[in-house]
Structure 1
Amino acid sequence: MTTATYLRPGLPSPVAENDGLDAPYWEGARRGELMVQRCKPCGNWQWGPEWICHKCLSFDVGWQKVEGRGRIYSWERPWHPVHPALKDQGPYIVVLVELPHAAGIRMLGNLVGDPRQEVRIGAEVEAVFEPHNDAKPPFTLVHWKIIGSG
């Protein structure tokens, strides 16, 4: 699912790290897919990206597409801008989403919709993809939306 632009222009464009470690995540987001790391020898899921498996210490860590659905594990509603481009955009909601299809790993993201909406721990959410095709280079952000919300 894609969404209209949620964030205002003027923020720095996210790009893959120079070492290329997180490039598969950003490439997947451009395709509308949520990609996370998975160790090839032991099957451990992990986030954020690392060169080594957190469980078995193997360097044979790959990337796998996962279902972009999860549950809100935690959240906060910041009222202060964390960047000058967000000066008049507060409040906004940041959620920590637990992904049951990836052994419960957790990812941060914005919760789209009314910034004053009621947020419930355990609420089901789905990934929404916000493409920025005019950016140099183009990128896509992953946000979250409560399932069943308008």
Structure 2
Amino acid sequence: MLTPVVDDDGAPFWEYAARGELRVQACAEPGCGEPRFPPRPCCPHCHSFDSEWRRMSGKGRVWSYVVPHPPLLPDYAAQAPYNVIVVELADAPRIRLVGNLVSGPEAPINSVAQDRIRIGARVQVVFTEGAGSEGGSALPRWVLERP
């Protein structure tokens, strides 16, 4: 399992994820408030350096997906084929996160049959502990709202 590479801008994302919360960075400038991902120091809309971390509902929809053949990462060969999905957040439609569609929080990344994955399918975030991650980092993954 991949573990996150944590930088100063993205550290709060992983701290919240370790608590089971999905939050995204947003501009804190009055009159702007645009959410942004990936996290960065400056708002790309108004150029303010003021930011806050907003809690998201964790709901979204599958915007796109791919099933890698052959696996691109050798550590994933035993789990192939597996899915990688792009999720458009319901609370912030311009924010899209990459993850896996799984049958449950601790299920393997190949636990959902490929024929069940659909563009537009409604999903909900779940968190699983990252293998070998320091400080209890958790990886956001996705389950179907109606399995």
2:4 aligned partner, one-letter code: P
Kindly report the root-mean-square deviation, in angstroms, between the aligned alpha carbons of the 2 structures. Answer: 1.8
Match of 2:23 in 1: 35
More helix by share: 2
Name structure 1 gaps, 5 residues minimum: 1-10
Name structure 2 gaps, 5 residues minimum: 103-110
Give 2:96's match in structure 1, choosing from 85, 88, 106. 106
Match of 1:143 in 2: 141
C-alpha contact (below 8 Å) 1:71/1:125 kept by paired residues: yes
After TM superposition, the runs of 4+ consecutive aligned structure 1 residues lying more than 6 A away are: none
1:30 aligned partner, one-letter code: A
* Cα distance in 2, alignment partners of residues 45 and 13 from structure 1: 24
Match of 1:95 in 2: 85
* Deviation of the 1:114 alpha carbon: 1.8
| Equivalent residue pairs, number | 137
Aligned pairs for 1:99-138 within 5 A: 99-112=89-102, 113-132=111-130, 135-138=133-136
C-alpha contact (below 8 Å) 1:99/1:105 kept by paired residues: yes
- Of all paired residues, the percent bearing the same amino acid is 39
* Deviation of the 1:118 alpha carbon: 2.3
C-alpha contact (below 8 Å) 1:73/1:121 kept by paired residues: yes
TM-score (norm 2): 0.84
